[in-house]
Structure 1
Amino acid sequence: MDRGAKAYPGGLALAQSSNALEITYSLEWQLGRLLREKKDINGAIAAYDAAVDTLQSLRRDLVTNKDVVNQDVQFNFRDSVEPVYRQSVELLLQSQQGKPDEKTLEKARERIEALQLAELDDFFQEACLQGQRVALDKVVDQNNSQAAILYPIILRDELQVIVKIPKQRLQSYKTKISQADVEKLLLELRRNLVNPTATKLVQTQSQEVYNWLLKPIESHLQKSGVDTLVFVLDGPLRNLPMAALYDGQQYLIEKYAVALSVGLQLLNPKPLVQQQLVALTAGLTQPPPKFSKYGPLLGIKSEFDGITKAGVSTTRLLDGDFKKKNLENEIGAASFNIVHLATHGQFSSRLEETFILDYDGRINVKDFDTLFRSQGKTIVELLVLSACQTAAGDSRCSTRFGRSSCTSWGT
């Protein structure tokens, strides 16, 4: 083991001198794991820090030079990259040894943020979240003294929650539970939520999630006068409505205002101006013949009628009128603050397999960039995707679509 540890610096120097970033990060990661086994925690943290920094540089190169970079370097995030970030965060949090350090907690949050943004860059193959950003903590401290931010992090053997209460230092607590057990319960609960006969089971399961995320801090929240909870969720937690968490007597929405944020950084945050709601509604009751595996959506007309009856001014594109070009023309010509799309879709962690259906066929996720860049005078504040599968996908979708800022795609 010692011989291996001594061999790594030479290999690292060679990889660094050759600018072989894909080799460099791998060696730095291996060195970090080796030092961790030897109980050299500070050395291991430094090695993981170096590996993450190298990965950040490598991602930038892959994104900005995607036409010239060797495609063999396009690695799989689940197998090759995500473990580096999550093991690094696990090491950071374990290094506290019961003595919470705000700088360490902040570093852990930022590292998970970096992972999720790197996944997004990898998916779209372009740099996302460009522009001036403002820290969510700062917005809460300055503008909402009664809001708390909860940032859960799913690790291999535990679930960590980092909490920000206005004007106070960061706090953290954890539940010893395996990642596999967390994901299993969340998947079961998500399925049971849409079963009207499973109310008791939903309450039992959602209370368990409540105990993970909120029970250790609930008395502190009450003493601090917190009335709003802002969740920045990790992994499969994104698929679960936080309002449905249950404390044994009440659902969370009965106790707090609940908000979700896609991350710790906001792009040009500003309050919404009260104005007339103007919606563009587009739907497909019958899919195109070549997509016959998707069934008809006969409830769309009544769905749109309900939006109109609610007092929302609407423009409607239905069936033959629902085409990508018509959608683009309407968004470019008028001032819609709501776009409501009722149609089938397929959602995947693969860019080319992610789309919704219009009358002519597919509207790919990348097409939304063009659609919303040509929007009219009013920025679209709410995009609704309404159909059976628009909240579904594989295990990577919740991260990528929950955070998507390369386009206006989202739910």
Structure 2
Amino acid sequence: MYPHLQYFSIFAVNVLFFLSCAIAYPKNNLVNSNTQAQNNHAQQPQNNQQSEIKRLNAEAIAASQQGRFTAALQRLQKALVISKELANSSWEAVTLNNLGRVYQNQGDYSQALSFFFTALRINKELSVKETTPGQAYTDLGKTYSNIGYLFDIQNKPELAVFFYKHCLINREKVRLNPSVFSAPQPDAYSITVAQTYRFLGEGLLKQGRVAEAQRTIDLLKVEELEEYLHNVPGNQRTAKGINILPIEKPIKQQLDQTLDNAVVLGKELTKLRNIPPQKRSPQQNQRINQLVGNQQQLLEAFNKFITSPAVTAQIDQISRTARRQNLDLENINEIRDNLARLPQKSVLLYPLVLKDRLELVLVTPDSPPIHRPVAVTREQLNQTIVTFREALTNPSRNIKKPASQLYAWLIKPIENDLQQVKTQTLIYAPDDQLRYVPLAALYDGKQWLVERFNVNHITATSLTNLNSPRTSTLRVLAGAFTRGNFEVALGNRQVDFSGLPFAGREVESLAAIIPQTKKLLNDDFSPQATVPQMDDYPIVHLATHAAFVVGKPEDSFILFGNGDRVNLTDIGTWSLPRVDLVVLSACETGLGGKLGNGEEILGFGYQIQKTGARAAIASLWAVDDGGTQALMNAFYTTLSSGKFTKAEALRQAQIALINGDSQAKNQDTSAAVGSNLTHPYYWGSFILIGNGL
């Protein structure tokens, strides 16, 4: 079954000999025995020397980006000498990675691979010393990413995927100890970790490895949360990383064995280099010279091996065979089991936005994962999203054209699949600017999507408990900001937020529907008075301004009735394990018309989950407060019947406004907004994030 592995094993012996003997520095003899230079550096205090290594690496990177490769290599040569004198293996690996990047920028891919692989050996040795996966595992994963990217830009996707997966595996081990990620990260890597995950997902989809792609896309969202919020902990589900398929394991075992043996055998070279040159014996100097003399030949042999037709054929066989392996992946079986246990026929939809196309991944309870590529560029998609949002926020505009176009890209390609499963609920994990799009407001030419499906947004399946039931008793803590005016700094500008006249009526209507409602208004609706009471109620309803803005988590906030703000970071400190639902009925995104990649929406959903609350309802733009009252009346009336899940209750409320159901409105609401609430401006803004039951 593995016809080329014998070749792999025979050649690995030669590679092991090379790794046990030397760390080679080809062509330019970047490492030398310049005793005078070494002695000069030895006079410097250690902290000054480390600062010098850091400075030289930074200057080299800048020089390489400007095309001054000779200058970059000269600085890295100096940094490498100093790091070896200090026996600072971490900075040695950083410098080696940067040497690889310089050669990569020059188009000398063979030399780049040599340096990356040597850095990999050092990072592997450092990771062995860690009792708990930490910085060395992080650096090991990133060096795997450098190798993957090197093969990616050479149009060798199978090898790129193989090494990218190892980046993900090591990264997810560290995520259980996320404080490691907050340590200063040297610039030594070709792409970011999030880009690695995205490129891996893209590569897997191109090879038809849909289950692995779904897993990668899911973990991409966790990584995006980490980059936005920081210190986002993983769990036992994320720590599993991504499966190595049975057909991949022989190659992985050979790679791991090569590195493990290199860690053991490489200690000889380390010991020799730790001996001051003036104290080395002739035999020791001869041994070092022998290692340096053999390095070029061995490195060239390794480069030829990893790119040989034999290994390429084996990797290609993995690509062809992996589709059948997907059915056995533990992650997909777990997701399918969770979907099957939901009360409605539910599917999981993952879009992945790429530069030249959109990829749709659909997971159903009883079929293999489905993959549908869509021919639309990121630029075209984002332009349509902007047009869609502009029409959504102006009821006088015709919304159906952009809504139909987005439907054609997001739903039409999987329409037959949804019909075959008899789908009732779409569990949706949007990507990039699609996070600003309410899926419910897409239009199929005859009706809105919400008229056909429940829509349940999530952050990531690996972070969401889809099956946790809600409490049977409805009690609500309701706060409202109804009067006054507060000026809030948003970036470099000031924005006025006025009281919401209908917020008080909204809360009064809520109390009429659910008698066990406690009301907090204006000054009484302060963080000090409100937050300590939240966990005493299954539902927390906040009728006040909230803004999710592009930037740092501290820029997004909830405004309380006394003028105090709680930002997105602070929300994560709340403890709400007994809360089933948090409702923000007057929040908005994209203030000032600026859209990012939606990380602030992803971050809000995660922070609510982090509190222990099961779900949140929020709006994607500032809705007419009379229309909001109408929607909330219908939502709570439906929910209080006890016959519907949260996702179903929201859908029924939205349909009530579309159909002009008078029960969704009262006299005050009708007078304020007229009798027509059918435009998605009034009902499409609200999305449910988290557990939809």
Answer yes or no: same fold by TM over 0.5.
yes
Which TM-score tier does this pair reach, normalised by the shorter chain? 0.7 to 0.9
| Normalised TM-score (structure 2) | 0.51
CA distance in 2, matches of 1:353, 1:39: 41
Aligned match of 1:100: none
Q: 2:419 aligns with which of 222, 228, 235?
A: 222
Aligned match of 1:347: 548
Greater relative CO (CA pairs within 8 A, separation 6+):
1
Corresponding position: 1:119 with 2:119: no
Aligned match of 2:319: none
Aligned match of 1:161: 360
Deviation of 1:369 (Å): 4.1
Corresponding position: 1:323 with 2:521: no
Q: Quick one: structure 1 residues 147 and 125, their matched pair in 2 at CA, closer, same or farther if it must change by over 3 Å?
A: closer
Aligned residues: 390
CA contact 1:137–1:264 (8 Å) conserved in 2: no
Q: Which one-letter code corresponds to 1:262 in the other structure?
A: T
Q: Quick one: structure 1 residues 402 and 145, their matched pair in 2 at CA, closer, same or farther if it must change by over 3 Å?
A: closer
Deviation of 1:85 (Å): 1.0
Corresponding position: 1:269 with 2:467: yes
Deviation of 1:57 (Å): 4.5
Between Structure 1 and Structure 2, which shows a larger proportion of helix residues? 2
CA distance in 1, matches of 2:352, 2:123: 32
Corresponding position: 1:41 with 2:157: yes
Structure 1 residues 68-98: Cα deviation after superposition (integer angstroms, max 9, x where no partner): x64x2298x9x722211111111111123xx
Out of 149-158 and 83-92, give the one that drifted further: 149-158
CA contact 2:358–2:373 (8 Å) conserved in 1: yes
Deviation of 1:52 (Å): 2.2
Corresponding position: 1:52 with 2:168: yes
CA distance in 2, matches of 1:275, 1:391: 36
Structure 1 residues 368-388: Cα deviation after superposition (integer angstroms, max 9, x where no partner): 344434x7xxx2222112335
CA contact 2:547–2:556 (8 Å) conserved in 1: yes
Deviation of 1:157 (Å): 1.6
Q: 1:257 aligns with which of 442, 454, 472?
A: 454
CA distance in 1, matches of 2:545, 2:112: 54
Structure 1 residues 272-292: Cα deviation after superposition (integer angstroms, max 9, x where no partner): 344334343243532456777
CA distance in 2, matches of 1:56, 1:267: 19
Q: Quick one: structure 1 residues 279 and 326, their matched pair in 2 at CA, closer, same or farther if it must change by over 3 Å?
A: closer
Out of 135-144 and 149-158, give the one that drifted further: 135-144
CA contact 2:559–2:565 (8 Å) conserved in 1: yes
CA distance in 1, matches of 2:484, 2:558: 13
Deviation of 1:140 (Å): 1.8
Structure 1 residues 79-120: Cα deviation after superposition (integer angstroms, max 9, x where no partner): 722211111111111123xxxxxxx21211111221211232
Aligned match of 2:496: 294
Aligned match of 2:431: 234
CA distance in 2, matches of 1:255, 1:74: 50
CA distance in 2, matches of 1:320, 1:145: 42
Can you give the 5+ residue segments of structure 2 that lack an aligned partner in the other structure? 1-108, 128-135, 239-330, 619-693
Can you give the 5+ residue segments of structure 1 that lack an aligned partner in the other structure? 97-103
CA distance in 1, matches of 2:357, 2:437: 19
Aligned match of 1:99: none
Aligned match of 1:84: 196
Q: What is the SS of the residue equivalent to 1:192?
A: helix
Aligned match of 2:441: 244
| Normalised TM-score (structure 1) | 0.82
Question: Share of identical aligned residues, percent?
Answer: 23
Deviation of 1:173 (Å): 0.6
Corresponding position: 1:189 with 2:388: yes
Corresponding position: 1:9 with 2:117: yes
CA distance in 2, matches of 1:152, 1:397: 18
Q: What is the SS of the residue equivalent to 2:498?
A: coil
Corresponding position: 1:142 with 2:142: no
CA contact 1:132–1:268 (8 Å) conserved in 2: no
CA contact 1:116–1:400 (8 Å) conserved in 2: no
Aligned match of 1:308: 511
| Correspondence list, 1:369-384, <5 A | 369-373=572-576, 379-384=578-583
Q: What is the SS of the residue equivalent to 1:280?
A: strand
Corresponding position: 1:281 with 2:483: no
